[in-house]
A and B are shown apart, each in its own frame.
Chain A
Amino acid sequence: MPEELKNLKDKSRRSFLSKLWLLLGVALLVELIWVLVSFLRPRKPKAETDAQNTIIAGPIDRFEPGSVTAFPQGKFYLARLEGGGFLALSRVCTHLGCTVPWVPDQNRFICPCHASSFDITGNVINPPAPRALDLFQIEIENNIVKVFLDRTVKRKRYRDDQVTKPF
């Protein structure tokens, strides 16, 4: 083999090896970051009994049509619409996560942070909030309202089929 070619081969082998080292170094860094991230991540929800993730709100006739009842321990509002149907609304503002209080005089939720407001169905009356309030799922059994807190349902705006009717 001519001397030059040999040198060239040597060189490319060396540069290949050094690239390999670089690659290993990068892999190490990625792994370290991965480990860090997996330590930060949420733990799996404990195999919580149904009871903990479900709130028994009460018998349906405790809730007047057109009323909103707060459930602070579940972080939601139970709204009963004029038609008699129920919605469980998350109290977290869809703009930047503040807690929205229900203001009965004005018949709406008003966010103290940047003044978004929502009607009783959770629909946005006033931006900046981009979406209606999130929902929790509801089940009505023997006239008792149960709210499931495992999961929030995101939605753009209110639709009739989101309502749980007592009959």
Chain B
Amino acid sequence: MPGENLQRDQDSLLRRVWGSVFKGPIVPVDDRQRRRTVLDFLILHIHPPTVPVSTIRYTHTWGLGGMSLVLFLVLALTGILLMFVYRPVPMEAYSSILTLQREVMFGSFVRSIHHWSANFLIIVALLHLLRVYFTGGFHRERQFNWIIGLSLLLLVVLANFTGYLLAWDQLAYWATTIMTSMLAYIPVAGLWLQRTIRGGTGIGAATLTNFFTLHTTIFPVLFVIFMPWHFWRVRKAGGVVLPRQEGEAPSDKPDRANTIPSLVTKELAVALVLLAFVLVFSVLFHAPLDQMANPGMSPNPARAPWYFMGIQELLLHFHPLFAVLFIPITAVLFLVSIPYLKYGDDPGVWFISEKGRRMAVVSATVAFVVTPALVLLDEFFIDLPALMPGLPTEISNGLIPYLLVLGGLTGYYLLLKNKYEASKAEAVQSVFVFLFVSFVVLTIVGVWFRGEGMKLVWPL
């Protein structure tokens, strides 16, 4: 309308500049404005203007994906602050951390926030994976987003691992030594890979430069590419999976509510509670810092960081070829194949069905009992290489126990399917639960039940 233009021309400069930045009011008052606001703001635009009411309930997603994002943002902000003080060369790295903690206002606090957020991110991303899995959020149009999610999880772990070395204390130095030494057991490419990552034969200045650049540039850039891709895929799939009760038909026309305020207020609440928790936690507990790295003296016991304890525990039981190569590859293949197995059940019901839930509980219990039992058995009673002295240890302590475990799982799967008439989805879910709980138990054993010389001990 020409009249409107005339009106605009007569507005004050301030008004016109403001109007060029914000198209509508920043605090929308009616529903139509609220829906517009979602579309007009870049960040809010990851959401559609309205979302299905049933997906907003907190106990559907538990806000875990959003929490991962918040933790990432906290990490980015605190990481940038740390970079002003930190110096990535062996002679100065450790002392720059001391300077940070002693002389920089809030230095210790910011380091603690960064440290704890990084650790929480691993836990939260894993819980998010569980949520997605157990609500069946990985079928059809969401298949590939599960793969993007796995890539994000890999990034989380790699970012943690490369960040761990930077403090250049004893803990970091030896954990990195142990972790990168594991690579040497990979046939053919192992040593090459190890040298590439270390930038040399040992852990030294080149390693620190490599890790610093990966940690502060490469991985953050990859996050910034993969996260929006992940979110965009969620939107393209029509939002998160619609929750259902067992027996309820999937609805294609669910009731919708306005994103503002219904979803956005909940997201804000989750973000603020999480932030408060991280801040309080970081005030109460400082990020650990050991003595400065000393390549001449390994501490006893030298440990991998906690999220690699599961693999370290496997190393104590399996030939390294299996502990660091075949078992992890099997696990990754299983995770990647999850969305592509043909199931035939509709998504959206927690644990697929009431029966699926019961089987999951049973599987978790079985794993919780069987895993420690196997650890004890291997530690004290059975010495496979001694039983089969004629065989190379790759076979006696590698292939044979590996096939036994695989056979056990296959048997368990078939038992559930044939004897207890589980659907394919329920049986796969049971195996998934079993493996996940086993891994958690191995991690717990590694973190709390291994003492000097990696002997089994009772904590306390």
Task: For A42, give the chain B residue with the smallest CB separation.
Answer: B200
The answer, yes or no, to whether B300 is at the interface (CB within 8 Å) is yes
* Binary contact track B272-300/A, C-beta < 8 Å → 1, others 0: 00000000000000000000000111111
* Given contact pairs A96-B182, A114-B454, A115-B454, A41 touches B196 in the complex (Cβ within 8 A): yes
A72 CA to B299 CA, complexed, in Å: 17
What residues of B have a CB within 8 angstroms of the CB of A95 in the complex? 181
B300 with A113: CB separation less than 8 A:
yes
* Given contact pairs A42-B206, A113-B174, A113-B300, A99 touches B295 in the complex (Cβ within 8 A): yes
Which among B199, B296, B297, B393 is the interface contact of A41 at CB below 8 angstroms? B199
The answer, yes or no, to whether B153 is at the interface (CB within 8 Å) is no
The answer, yes or no, to whether A112 is at the interface (CB within 8 Å) is yes
The answer, yes or no, to whether B2 is at the interface (CB within 8 Å) is no
* Binary contact track A20-46/B, C-beta < 8 Å → 1, others 0: 000000000000000011001111000
B301 with A42: CB separation less than 8 A:
no
Which among A43, A72, A113, A115 is the interface contact of B206 at CB below 8 angstroms? A43
The answer, yes or no, to whether A111 is at the interface (CB within 8 Å) is yes
What residues of B have a CB within 8 angstroms of the CB of A113 in the complex? 174, 178, 298, 300-302, 454
Within the complex, the shortest CB–CB distance from A33 to chain B, in Å, comes to: 11
Task: For A97, give the chain B residue with the smallest CB separation.
Answer: B181
A130 with B320: CB separation less than 8 A:
yes
The answer, yes or no, to whether B44 is at the interface (CB within 8 Å) is no
What residues of B have a CB within 8 angstroms of the CB of A111 in the complex? 298
The answer, yes or no, to whether B316 is at the interface (CB within 8 Å) is yes
B197 with A40: CB separation less than 8 A:
yes
Q: Which residues of A58-105 have CB atoms within 8 Å of chain B's CB atoms?
A: 72, 75, 91-93, 95-101
Within the complex, the shortest CB–CB distance from B81 to chain A, in Å, comes to: 27
B195 with A41: CB separation less than 8 A:
yes
Which among B201, B299, B300 is the interface contact of A42 at CB below 8 angstroms? B201
Within the complex, the shortest CB–CB distance from B180 to chain A, in Å, comes to: 8
A112 with B301: CB separation less than 8 A:
yes
A40 with B298: CB separation less than 8 A:
no
Q: Is the interface of A mostly helix, strand, loop or mixed?
A: loop
Which among A42, A100, A112, A114 is the interface contact of B195 at CB below 8 angstroms? A42
Chain B interface extent, by class: 20 to 34
A98 with B177: CB separation less than 8 A:
yes
A122 CA to B417 CA, complexed, in Å: 53
B296 with A72: CB separation less than 8 A:
yes
B196 with A112: CB separation less than 8 A:
no
Which among B180, B210, B302 is the interface contact of A112 at CB below 8 angstroms? B302
A112 with B181: CB separation less than 8 A:
no
Give the size of the chain A interface in residues (CB under 8 angstroms). Answer: 25
The answer, yes or no, to whether B453 is at the interface (CB within 8 Å) is yes
What residues of B have a CB within 8 angstroms of the CB of A72 in the complex? 296
Task: For A41, give the chain B residue with the smallest CB separation.
Answer: B196
A115 CA to B182 CA, complexed, in Å: 17
A97 with B178: CB separation less than 8 A:
yes
Q: Is the interface of B mostly helix, strand, loop or mixed?
A: helix
A128 with B316: CB separation less than 8 A:
yes
Within the complex, the shortest CB–CB distance from B328 to chain A, in Å, comes to: 16
Q: Which residues of A101-159 have CB atoms within 8 Å of chain B's CB atoms?
A: 101, 111-115, 128, 130
Within the complex, the shortest CB–CB distance from A79 to chain B, in Å, comes to: 18
Within the complex, the shortest CB–CB distance from A52 to chain B, in Å, comes to: 15
Task: For A37, give the chain B residue with the smallest CB separation.
Answer: B196
Task: For A95, give the chain B residue with the smallest CB separation.
Answer: B181
What residues of A have a CB within 8 angstroms of the CB of B300 in the complex? 112-113
Task: For B294, give the chain A residue with the smallest CB separation.
Answer: A99
Residue of A96, A98, A130 with most chain B CB atoms under a 10 A cut-off: A96
A90 CA to B300 CA, complexed, in Å: 19
What residues of A have a CB within 8 angstroms of the CB of B393 in the complex? 130
A56 CA to B288 CA, complexed, in Å: 41
A115 with B296: CB separation less than 8 A:
no
B296 with A40: CB separation less than 8 A:
no
A42 with B298: CB separation less than 8 A:
no
Task: For A111, give the chain B residue with the smallest CB separation.
Answer: B298
A95 CA to B196 CA, complexed, in Å: 20
What residues of A have a CB within 8 angstroms of the CB of B174 in the complex? 98, 113
* Binary contact track B151-187/A, C-beta < 8 Å → 1, others 0: 0000000000000000000000010011011100000
What residues of B have a CB within 8 angstroms of the CB of A40 in the complex? 196-197, 199, 210
A98 with B195: CB separation less than 8 A:
no
A43 CA to B453 CA, complexed, in Å: 36
Within the complex, the shortest CB–CB distance from A116 to chain B, in Å, comes to: 9
B297 with A99: CB separation less than 8 A:
yes
A97 CA to B298 CA, complexed, in Å: 9
A72 CA to B177 CA, complexed, in Å: 18
What residues of chain B have their CB less than 8 Å away from a CB belonging to chain A? 174, 177-178, 180-182, 195-202, 206, 210, 218, 295-302, 315-316, 320, 393, 453-455
What residues of chain A have their CB less than 8 Å away from a CB belonging to chain B? 36-37, 40-43, 72, 75, 91-93, 95-101, 111-115, 128, 130
List 9 tightest A-B contacts by C-beta distance, closest first.
Answer: A115-B453, A112-B300, A97-B181, A98-B298, A96-B181, A113-B302, A42-B200, A96-B178, A114-B454
28 A-B pairs within 8 Å (CB atoms) are namely: A36-B218, A37-B196, A40-B197, A40-B199, A41-B195, A41-B199, A42-B198, A75-B295, A93-B298, A95-B181, A97-B177, A98-B178, A98-B298, A99-B295, A99-B296, A99-B298, A100-B298, A111-B298, A112-B298, A112-B302, A113-B178, A113-B298, A113-B300, A113-B454, A114-B301, A114-B453, A115-B455, A130-B320
